[in-house]
A and B are shown apart, each in its own frame.
Chain A
Amino acid sequence: MNGAGKNEPDGTPTHDPGKAPTNDPSSASRRRRHVAFVALALGATVLPLAVLAMLLGGVTLDGLGRIGWDFLTSYPSRRAARAGILPGLVGSISLISLTAALAVPIGVGAAVYLEEYGKRTRIARIIELNIANLAGVPSVIYGLLGLGVFVRTLGMGRSLLAGACTLALLVLPIVIVASREALKNVPDSTREACLALGSTRWQAIRQVVLPMAFPEILTGVILAVSRAIGETAPLVVIGALAYVTFLPDGVLAPFTTLPIQIFDWVSRPQQSFAVNAAAGIVVLMGTLLALNGVAIGLRARLQRRKA
C-alpha cells in the first residue's frame, strides 16, 4: 500500500499510456482481472460471516442437547451433568437492569446537554473529545477503575452494585453517542416551532424533541445493553465470583453472570464442562440475537418513516 501511496493521482496518467498498447487490444484480460478481483473481494467480505455462521452452528449442535428446564434452573455443580446456570442468569438480569437504570438517564442527560445546551462551547468540545477517548479504553481497564473506586474507595465490596456502576461507565459512551445522533436527527424547525408557540427550551426538549428522538435512543440503549450483557473481563477484575450456589439477595450481594459462568466452564479441562459452556453460549447468543432483532426492527421502522 505504501508503494501505491507514492503514486499520487497525477502520477497515474504518465503510467497508463505506456501500458495502453499491451492493455488495449486485450480488454478481455482486463475484464478477467476485474472479475477475479471482484470474486476475491466478495470472498473476503463473505468468508468471515460464513466462518461465524459455521462456528455458531457448531456450538448450537454441541450445546442444544444440554439445554432444558433443569439446565436453566439449577445451580453450578462439581458434576457437569447436574450443573445449571440459574445464578448466572439471575445475576446477569439483575446486573443489566441496574446498569441500564444507571447508564440510560446519565447518558441521555449528557447527550441532551451536549446537543441542546452546550452545543459547540469549549467545555462541550472537551467533553466530546473525552468521550471519544473513553470509548477506546479497553474494558479490562474499566475493571481496574471499578476495583479502585467502587469496590475499595466507596466500599461497595465485590457486589452487584459495584459491577453495575463499572458497566454503566463502560457503556456510557455508547448511550451518549447514540442519543446525540438521535437528537441531531430532530429538525431544528421543530424546536423553533415549539419556541414560537411559547414553550421554554426545556418544555420543547421534554415534550417534543425527546419523544421524537425516543425510538432511535432506544436502539442505542439496546446496543449498549447487548454490549454489557456479553462483558466479562471488567467483572472478573472487580471480583465477581465464578462458582456461586446462591442467588443475590440485594444490590450489595456478591454475584456471578452468565458469561463468567461460561468462562469458568471453558477454563476446565474436562470435555463435559465444554458441553455446558456450549449450552451457556447458546442461551447467551439467543438473548443477544433477540435483543438485536428488536433493535434492527426499530431501525427499519424508523427508516421507513423517514422515507
Chain B
Amino acid sequence: MTAATASATSEPSASLGTGAVGDPSGAVEPAVGDEDPRPLTGRAAPWHERVIEIGLFACAGVSVLTTIGIVAVLLGETLQFFGEVSILDFLTDTQWTPLFSDKHFGIWPLLSGTLVTSGVAIAVALPFGLLAAIYLSEIASPRVRSLVKPSLELLAGVPTVVYGYFALVTLTPLLQHVVPGLSGFNALSPGIVMGVMIMPLISSLSEDAIHAVPQSLREASYGLGASKLATIFRVVLPTARSGIAASVTLAASRAIGETMIVAIAAGQQPRLGIDPRQPFETMTAYIVKVSLGDIATGTTEFRTIFAVGSALFVMTLSMNLLAMRLARSFRGAL
C-alpha cells in the first residue's frame, strides 16, 4: 500500500541532485545519483563516503545485536536451567523456594506477586489516565494543554528508586491508618505508586488517540443534538477504543517490568494469593534479591534469575506486540 509512495519519496535528494547537475551538462545518468554532485566541488572521494555509510549502518545494527544478545543470553541460561529443573515443575508447582534446602521451582507465587502489584497499578492509572486524556483533548484550552501535558510526563521521569522510597517510607504508614491489616511490606502501596508512575503513559497515548478522532464525527453528534458528554462517551471514546486499549496494554507491560518500587516496598516473600495487603515477591524483585545476595554464579539457584527473566521478557514482549497491533488497527480504522 505504501510501497509506491515509499519509492517515490525515498531518495528525493538523490534524484534532485541528479537533475541539478544533469541540466547543465545535458546528460542525465540515473545510476550514479550519489556521486553526481561531486564534479561541482571536486572534493570527497566516493570511497570515503561509502565507509561512512557502512559505519552508520553498523550503528543502526547495534540495536539488532542488542536483541540477539538478549535472546541468546536468556535462552542459553534458561535451557541450561531446564536441564536441571523440570519445566513442568516450573509451570505447575505452587511453591517458589529455590534458596531453601527443600527446593521448589514453581513460578506461580512470583507471577502472582507481579500480577497483584500490576493490577493495583492499572486500577489506579486507568481511570486517572483516561480522565486526564479526555480533559486534555476535549476540555482544556490549547494553552492549558501545552502546560499540563509536559508536567504529567514529569511523573514518568522520577527515578523508580525515589518512588520506592515514597511507597515504603511515606505511603505505607499513611495507608496503615486507613486499611486494616496492612503489613509494612505489601502490594497495595507500591501498586498505587506504580499507578502514578505509569499514568502519563496512558494519558499521553490515549490523548493522542482521542485527538485523532475526526472532528466531523463530533460535529455530526452535536448536530443531532447530543451533549458534549454524550458525544465524548458515545462517539469519541468508542472510536478511539483500540488506541486507548493500546495505551493501557503498554502501561501494563511497563508495570510488570517495573523493578525497584516493588523490590523496596512489596517485600521479599513469594506468595500465591490475591490479597494486596500482604507482602509479595514479584518476578523483578526476585531477580534483584538474588543479584544482591552472594549466590555463586553458574549454580542452578543463580540460573533461576535467567529463567524468571525469560518469562518476564516473553510476557512484556507479547504485550508490547499486542499494543503495536492495536495501535495499527486504530490508525487503519480512521
Chain B contact surface mostly: helix
Q: Kindly supply a per-residue 1/0 record for chain A positions 40-69, scoring 1 wherever the CB is within 8 Å of any chain B CB and 0 otherwise.
A: 111011111101100100110000000000
CB of A221 to closest CB in B, whole Å: 15
Q: A211: CB under 8 A from chain B? A: no
Query: In this assembly, does A167 line the interface, its C-beta being within 8 Å of a C-beta of chain B?
Result: no
Given A145-B73, A172-B62, A284-B159; A16-B139 close (CB under 8 Å):
no
From the candidates B131, B157, B168, name the one contacting A45 in the complex (CB within 8 A). Answer: B131
Tell me which residues from 311 to 332 in chain B have a Cβ below 8 Å from any Cβ of chain A: 312-313, 316-317, 320-321, 324
- A5–B227 Cα gap in the complex (Å)? 18
Interface size class of B (residues with CB under 8 A): 35 or more
Quote the shortest CB–CB distance from B153 to chain A (angstroms).
10
Chain A residues contacting B287 (CB-CB under 8 Å) are 140, 143-144, 233, 237
CB of B238 closer than 8 Å to a CB of A: yes
| A144:B44 contact, CB within 8 angstroms | no
- Any A CB within 8 A of the CB of B247: no
Q: In the bound complex, what is the Cα–Cα distance between A37 and B134 (angstroms)?
A: 10
Q: Is B128 an interface residue (CB 8 A)?
A: yes
A281 touches B284 (CB 8 A): no
Is B334 an interface position by the 8 A CB rule?
A: no
Interface contact B134-A41, CB-CB below 8 Å: yes
Contact flags (1/0) for B7-44 with A, using CB distance below 8 Å?
10111111011001100000000000011011111011
**By the criterion CB–CB under 8 Å, are B309 and A233 in contact?**
no
Query: A230 at the A/B interface (Cβ < 8 Å)?
Result: yes
Give the docked Cα–Cα distance between A231 and B34 (Å): 43
Quick check: B230 and A229 within 8 Å, CB to CB?
no
Looking at the assembled complex, report how far the CB atom of B141 sits from the nearest CB atom of chain A, in whole angstroms: 12
CA distance A110 to B58 in the complex (A): 8
Q: Are A48 and B165 in contact (CB under 8 A)?
A: no
Interface membership of B103, Cβ < 8 A: no
Bound-state CA distance A147–B287 (Å) is 12
B266 at the interface (CB under 8 A from A): no
Q: Complex: how many Å from CA A182 to CA B128?
A: 31
* Residue of chain B at shortest CB distance from A261: B161
Verify if A8 is at the interface (C-beta below 8 Å from B).
yes
B161 touches A113 (CB 8 A): no
Could you tell me the distance in whole angstroms from the C-beta of A129 to the nearest C-beta in chain B?
A: 8
- The answer to the question of B259 belonging to the interface, with a C-beta cut-off of 8 Å to chain A, is yes
CA distance in complex: A203, B43 (Å): 10
Contact B40 A198 (CB under 8 A): yes
Contact with A along B36-64 (1 / 0, CB 8 A): 01111101100001001101111111111
CA–CA, A121 to B10, complex, Å? 8
B66 at the interface (CB under 8 A from A): yes
Q: Which of A74-82, A93-101, A189-197, A244-252 contacts B (4 or more CB under 8 A)?
A: A189-197
Could you jot down 13 A-B contacts, CB within 8 Å? A9-B220, A16-B226, A45-B203, A48-B199, A134-B66, A138-B312, A139-B257, A141-B316, A144-B74, A148-B73, A173-B63, A263-B260, A266-B164
5 nearest A-B residue pairs (beta carbon): A138-B257, A198-B40, A230-B159, A109-B59, A148-B73
